[in-house]
Structure 1
Amino acid sequence: MRHGQAENNVQHILAGRQSEYHLTERGKEQVSLTANGLKSIPIDMIYTSPIIRTVETTKIVSETIGVDYGIDERLTETEMGSVVGMGFNDVLEKYGNIFPGFFRDDPTLENLKIEKFSDIRKRISNILDYVAERHQNTNVLLVTHLDPIKAAITRTLDLKPESLFNMTIGNASLTILRHDSSEYNLIAFNVMDMSRYSWNSRKNDNLQNI
């Protein structure tokens, strides 16, 4: 699950790990909608990123469905290095469109000290395997961020960097993976309450992609 809409999403700021932004009121409503939809699903445990916007998301879900949670550093946000706190458009103006290159570990980004996507994949794969081993035959909810969710999806699909960049994962949306033996299968993607999808326009502030 991705965290609900946070202040940095509205401001189009690359928050990274160092800048703490809280959920907006809209974000809390988004999370509540998703949490209510989870009431009918038997969830054994919740693990969350330590970043405040994910912890706030997790607390709402935990209280709604009555399931305990723990904090796990492997679910944390991408380390954004030199661009942390910058606006999306400011990054484009200063460095060009670095984002598709991020998903292919473009070596030119090393000077910006941005965490490699391959390293995000490693830590996300690690926690996926940990959960699969520790919570066999149960449902576990992981609350995290945009890039870690995309990293989890690459465990099941071989996607081009450009496809990963353009992939929309809405705030407070669910991405569902099933573990069978040693394999993961993508069961559902970007699942939200139907009222949150835009049917009349491509513009939709529910689908924040930064």
Structure 2
Amino acid sequence: MREFIVEADGGSRGNPGPAGYGSVVIDATTGETLAERAEFIGVATNNVAEYRGLLAGLRAARELDPSARVRVRMDSKLVVEQMSGRWKIKHPDMKPLAAEAARVLPPGQVTYEWIPREQNKHADRLANEAMDAGKRGEQWNEGASRAALDARSAGAPSVPESSGPPGDAVAGAAKAREALSRAAAERTTGGAAEASLPGGAERTVAEAVAKPGANTGDDVRAGRAVALSTAGAATSAPAAAPTVGWGAAPDLGAPATFVLLRHGETPLTPQKRFSGSGGTDPSLSDVGRGQAERVAAALARRGTVQHILASPLARTRETAGIVAARLGLEVTVEDGLIETDFGAWEGLTFGEVRERHPDDLNAWLADPEAEPTGGGESFAATAVRIAAARDRLVAAYAGRTVLLVTHVTPIKTLVRLALGAPPESLFRMELSAASLSAVAYYADGNASVRLFNDTSHLRP
């Protein structure tokens, strides 16, 4: 009996956003590529795109030999665990896709194996080619893919293959610019180019391991922000158009700028307890009110905020009210800015949740579709809600500077979406009480993160 390996992947530039999948069928004995499949599928989530890639790979394997054994290899823990029967499928978009995948071949012929992303580059490349084709208003075709491979093997510079779920247009342009810069530098120096910001300035970033949505800020790992060198690229290849992170084109106009303020401390904050929208609604502590006064003074000195919107919860409305009184503005309540509902975990510490609900917690840490115990809100659902609120507010406040007084998960989600970062990045951001962040949204759809977790106004 023949044996095939199916490798599949999918991605969404926005999650949800423009999405595509890629899959490849490989002869398990010879390692020969037998079939490739890829398609741009319109707006979808990463998980939907991954399931569509799985379906395409299984169907291609069936066309080659319906009696063959198939070993599916994917870097999506979610799909592998769900299709292996170890995780429940709760999301309504996932259930019909999983059921359809289970019917392509008899269950006894198919096994599933998780692999690291770096071992799934073939399918990842196809998925990105499909999304690139969709951006051009086309569909992927195998001939174009082969031509691109031939160009790479001949030494032409290419955009690096994605090492994570695809990002938005800003991230994609940055990758292309990085590839051009590296190729130019290696041709002129014979080695790797050093990455630097214009003017030689360097920036550092802190990468935290705090759990998103909860007040569980633990260790912070210092890291260096990888910047791109543009020196020499213009002489060897056409320069990529500048993205908003480097300077917007003058005809884009003023962006809608969201200044993101996390509310001040509540009695639960120093205890590092989950505090979402599904439990008690604590007010600010004395410390939290003092923090709100200090951030109000800092914003008054800057003098740029024109509107104030707040989540409907007490701690955000109280913080916003203190700032509004100092700035002479009114507060508008925006329901879309509310914190995630943490279900039965509300009021518990991370350690208490691990002790009482270990399986649910492990699933939540691994799968953005997983809900907290007791029917809380998944991070995937939060992201859909936050993206809808973002789009509505960007349209309503074009060219204006708006203070959004909200919570940990909404702020991290807005930053993640602006960067085109994968869902797991939520676990790698530290966000302090009464901290300020900022994202600018331009008319061409690009976003630029301008500030993150600034607490300088809280220092004595």
Partner of 2:108: none
Does the 8 A contact of 1:100 with 1:161 survive in 2?
A: no
TM-score, normalised by the number of residues in structure 1: 0.84
Partner of 1:125: 387
Listed as ranges, the gaps of 5+ residues in structure 2 are 1-260
Q: Say which structure, 1 or 2, has more relative contact order (CA 8 Å, 6+ apart).
A: 1
Deviation at 1:191? 1.2
The amino acid that maps onto 1:4 is: G
The amino acid that maps onto 2:280 is: S
Deviation at 1:68? 1.0
Partner of 2:450: 187
The amino acid that maps onto 2:271 is: Q
Structure 1 distance, partners of 2:407, 2:366, is 15
Aligned CA distance change for structure 1 residues 74 and 35 (closer, same or farther; 3 Å): same
The amino acid that maps onto 1:140 is: V
Identity of aligned residues (%): 28
- Between structures 1 and 2, the one with greater strand share: 2
Does the 8 A contact of 1:131 with 1:140 survive in 2?
A: no
Secondary structure of the residue aligned to 1:175 is: strand
Aligned CA distance change for structure 1 residues 187 and 28 (closer, same or farther; 3 Å): same
How many pairs align? Answer: 196
Deviation at 1:163? 3.5
Structure 2 distance, partners of 1:69, 1:61, is 9
Deviation at 1:99? 7.3
- Return the index of the structure with the highest Cα Rg: 2
The amino acid that maps onto 1:183 is: N
- 1:22-61 → structure 2 map (5 Å cutoff): 22-39=283-300, 40-61=302-323
Higher mean displacement: 12-21 or 66-75: 12-21
Secondary structure of the residue aligned to 1:156 is: helix
The amino acid that maps onto 1:7 is: P
Structure 2 distance, partners of 1:74, 1:102, is 24
Query: What is the Cα-based RMSD across aligned positions, in Å?
Result: 2.3
Per-residue CA deviations over 1:36-92 (Å, capped at 9, x if unaligned) read: 111123222111111111111011110111111111111111111121222332112
Structure 1 distance, partners of 2:366, 2:386, is 15
TM-score, normalised by the number of residues in structure 2: 0.40
The amino acid that maps onto 2:368 is: D
Partner of 1:176: 438
Structure 1 distance, partners of 2:382, 2:288, is 25
Structure 2 distance, partners of 1:111, 1:21, is 21
Aligned CA distance change for structure 1 residues 95 and 53 (closer, same or farther; 3 Å): same
Per-residue CA deviations over 1:18-48 (Å, capped at 9, x if unaligned) read: 3121111111121222111111232221111
Secondary structure of the residue aligned to 1:141 is: strand
Partner of 1:98: 361
The amino acid that maps onto 1:81 is: G
Listed as ranges, the gaps of 5+ residues in structure 1 are 198-210
Partner of 1:14: 274
Secondary structure of the residue aligned to 1:190 is: strand
Higher mean displacement: 94-103 or 178-187: 94-103
- 1:77-96 → structure 2 map (5 Å cutoff): 77-96=339-358
Higher mean displacement: 32-41 or 147-156: 32-41
